[in-house]
């Protein structure tokens, strides 16, 4: 590494890390490196995006902008005049990435395993794509020749920590074994680049901290509705073991940093437990009269249930070579997947609909949708107002507790050229220890908005035993950073401008984030005033659009289903 480089930054991401786990373990002496960073640096919660979906949060981290500017609102985006969705990739993101800004300023960058970075962009350095990239091949590397170098110098690694059959059979021992192996593989890649390449900015993501919490929370938590004492005694410390492993890896990075390097340890959002109750947003919209199913049948019942079962049977029993051929027929693929996500919807009598994820609702607008019925203007606003009012009143019939605490119109929380592509309403569940699982209404057993998930259903998708929370973590340490300072109000969009500031570069005036000044020593702020640069046409993506091919799309779909992000 070039020792003459100054004002360097290292970001180590522990995906979905939460102080709910870190602080008790720090107090027990189980995470000595994180403990030392907290004592010697500044730390606090890092507020994620709304929704706290990984695709949205990472895009905001990458750009320092709100979703209304970068344009990513989910792992999927809606195609024009269609109810069909496709998977997002880096081409869907508007605006320059933090590493592109650094590259343009002549800084050398290394970026490893950050989600939503495939296809990789040209940078002044190295980039290996993360989640939403297909399996490891030269296409996920920049430059492409880095692929052969890593394979020869480090060895083979994978982007997939487990297989679907392991999940279906609940082979938690095998799942954890592979998770542990993947942590080692990703560390080896990062360590090689850290030691053998010149860099001013280094960022690497450990995604297994996300995976292990999604899969093993119920084993760790004795109050979880699916906690089994026997499994808990065997797998209850799996999450801690991964944290301890990564804690030691942190030490190996930190001991090689010089005084001119500031280190960030962060997560894109937090994670907590789910309950044993599923929430079906389209069923709720139907119950409230905003959505209609054909023939009066509900999702998961009668005709809708037959369709769902038929598709599932086909996926299970049709030979792979024939399924691959069927995927090559675009209209059939679109038709089947759209029906499966929104089974049996009568669009002529539907005012609002959802893809049953993260509380996102679209109005069936006449001017926007293929079969829209709601007019722009007053009718649109009236429908939104009524849905919001009813959502905030809606209670769980069993407990009497309100389900949602907040409901936003898109323009209330987003701004920018991409707001037009945002969901019209964003609902936030009421904060509770055990949240409702969002599931596709096509999987419901009846027409009710809420139903209890059975132990058998849990067995089929254990990744949904934990779900995201708004607050992630940020810990900063370096010469400009205050010692032992507990900070508040930091947001994920603040990381990019803070990095630019610490590396001596101006902050683009189109960024929504701010420099986290409360973590910086006043003497440093006095001698290094924040500067800004004016940006024109900031939301223009200069790269040519690209979509996944059939094989890549299947890989992404499988990965997101494995992690419980889609049904």
Average pLDDT for residues 144-161, to the nearest whole number? 91
Average pLDDT for residues 66-94, to the nearest whole number? 92
Position 463 scores a pLDDT of: 73
Position 168 scores a pLDDT of: 64
| Percent of the residues in the chain that have a pLDDT greater than 90, as a whole number | 72
Position 550 scores a pLDDT of: 82
Q: What is the pTM of this model?
A: 0.90
Sequence-ordered alpha helix ranges (H) in 427-538: 455-460, 495-502, 522-527
pLDDT band at 489 (very low <50, low <70, confident <90, very high): very high
Beta-bridge partner residues of 265: 12, 475
* Angle, CA 251 vertex, CA 248 and CA 257 arms, to 5°: 160
Q: Which 3 state secondary structure label does DSSP give 363?
A: strand
- Residue 460: is its pLDDT beyond 80? no
| E-only strand ranges, 214-311 | 261-266, 270-279
pLDDT band at 82 (very low <50, low <70, confident <90, very high): confident
Position 447 scores a pLDDT of: 87
d(CA 311, CA 307): 6
Convert the pLDDT of each residue in 181-208 to its tens digit. Answer: 999 999 999 999 999 999 999 999 999 9
pLDDT band at 11 (very low <50, low <70, confident <90, very high): very high
Q: Which of 295, 293, 269, 296 is nearest to 280 (CA)?
A: 293
d(CA 410, CA 418): 11
Contact 361, 423 (CB under 8 A): yes
Contact 229, 221 (CB under 8 A): no
DSSP classification of residue 481: B
Average pLDDT for residues 140-152, to the nearest whole number? 97
d(CA 23, CA 26): 5
Give the rounded distance of the alpha carbon of 186 from its chain centre.
19
Position 442 scores a pLDDT of: 81
Q: What is the 3-state secondary structure (H, E, C) of 389-412?
A: HHHHHCECCCCCCECEEEEEEHHH
Label residue 557 exposed, middle or buried (CB < 10 Å: 0-12, 13-18, 19+).
middle
Convert the pLDDT of each residue in 233-246 to its tens digit. Answer: 999 999 999 999 99
pLDDT band at 89 (very low <50, low <70, confident <90, very high): very high
Position 100 scores a pLDDT of: 97
Q: Per mean pLDDT, which range of 13-22, 223-232, 504-513 is the poorest?
A: 223-232
pLDDT band at 562 (very low <50, low <70, confident <90, very high): confident
Over the Cα atoms of the chain, what is R_g? 23
- Residue 335: is its pLDDT beyond 70? no
Q: Per mean pLDDT, which range of 129-143, 248-262, 333-347, 496-510 is the poorest?
A: 333-347
Position 378 scores a pLDDT of: 98
pLDDT band at 538 (very low <50, low <70, confident <90, very high): low
Position 79 scores a pLDDT of: 85
Label residue 27 exposed, middle or buried (CB < 10 Å: 0-12, 13-18, 19+).
exposed
d(CA 500, CA 505): 5
């Amino acid at each position: 590494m070039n020792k003459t480089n100054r004002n360097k930054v290292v970001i180590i991401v522990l995906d979905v890390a939460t102080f709910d786990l870190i602080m008790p373990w720090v107090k027990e002496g189980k995470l000595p490196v994180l403990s030392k960073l907290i004592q010697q640096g500044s730390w606090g919660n890092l507020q994620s995006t709304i929704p706290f979906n990984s695709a949205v949060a990472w895009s905001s981290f990458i750009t320092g902008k709100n979703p209304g500017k970068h344009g990513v609102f989910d792992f999927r985006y809606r195609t024009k005049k269609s109810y069909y969705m496709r998977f997002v990739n880096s081409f869907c993101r508007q605006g320059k990435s933090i590493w592109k800004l650094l590259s343009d300023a002549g800084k050398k960058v290394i970026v490893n395993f950050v989600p939503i970075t495939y296809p990789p962009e040209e940078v002044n350095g190295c980039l290996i794509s993360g989640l939403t990239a297909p399996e490891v091949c030269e296409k996920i590397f920049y430059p492409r020749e880095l692929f052969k170098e890593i394979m020869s110098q480090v060895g083979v690694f994978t982007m997939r920590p487990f297989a679907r059959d392991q999940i279906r059979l609940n082979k938690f021992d095998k799942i954890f074994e592979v998770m542990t192996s993947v942590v080692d593989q990703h560390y080896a890649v990062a360590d090689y680049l850290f030691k053998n390449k010149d860099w001013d900015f280094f960022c690497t993501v450990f995604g297994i901290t996300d995976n292990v919490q999604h899969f093993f929370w119920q084993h760790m938590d004795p109050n979880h509705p699916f906690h089994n004492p026997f499994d808990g005694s065997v797998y209850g410390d799996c999450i801690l073991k991964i944290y301890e492993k990564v804690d030691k890896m942190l030490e190996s990075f930190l001991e090689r940093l010089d005084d001119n390097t500031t280190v960030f340890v962060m997560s894109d959002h937090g994670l907590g437990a789910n309950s044993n109750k599923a929430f079906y947003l389209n069923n709720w919209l139907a119950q409230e009269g905003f959505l209609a199913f054909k023939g009066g049948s509900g999702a998961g019942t009668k005709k809708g249930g037959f369709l769902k079962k038929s598709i599932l049977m086909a996926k299970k029993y049709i030979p792979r070579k024939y399924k691959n051929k069927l995927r090559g027929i675009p209209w059939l693929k679109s038709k089947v997947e759209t029906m499966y996500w929104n089974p049996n919807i009568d669009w002529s009598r539907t005012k609002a609909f959802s893809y049953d994820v993260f509380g996102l609702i679209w109005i069936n607008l006449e001017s926007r949708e293929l079969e829209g019925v709601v007019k722009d203007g007053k009718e649109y606003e009236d429908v939104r107002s009524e849905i919001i009012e009813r959502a905030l009143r809606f209670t769980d019939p069993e407990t009497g507790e309100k389900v949602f605490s907040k409901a936003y119109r898109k323009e209330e929380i987003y701004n920018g050229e991409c707001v037009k592509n945002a969901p019209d309403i964003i609902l936030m569940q009421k904060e509770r220890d055990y949240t409702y699982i969002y599931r596709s209404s096509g999987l419901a057993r009846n027409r009710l908005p809420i139903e209890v998930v059975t132990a058998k259903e849990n067995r089929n998708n254990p990744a949904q035993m934990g779900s995201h929370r708004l607050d992630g973590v940020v810990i900063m340490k370096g010469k400009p950073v205050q010692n032992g300072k507990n900070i508040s109000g930091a947001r994920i969009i603040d990381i990019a401008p803070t990095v630019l500031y610490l590396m001596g570069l101006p902050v683009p005036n189109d960024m929504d984030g701010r420099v986290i000044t409360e973590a910086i020593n006043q003497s440093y702020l006095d001698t290094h005033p924040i500067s800004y640069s004016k940006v024109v046409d900031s939301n223009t993506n200069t790269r040519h659009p690209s979509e996944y091919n059939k094989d890549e799309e299947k890989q992404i779909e499988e990965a997101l289903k494995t992690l419980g992000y889609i049904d």
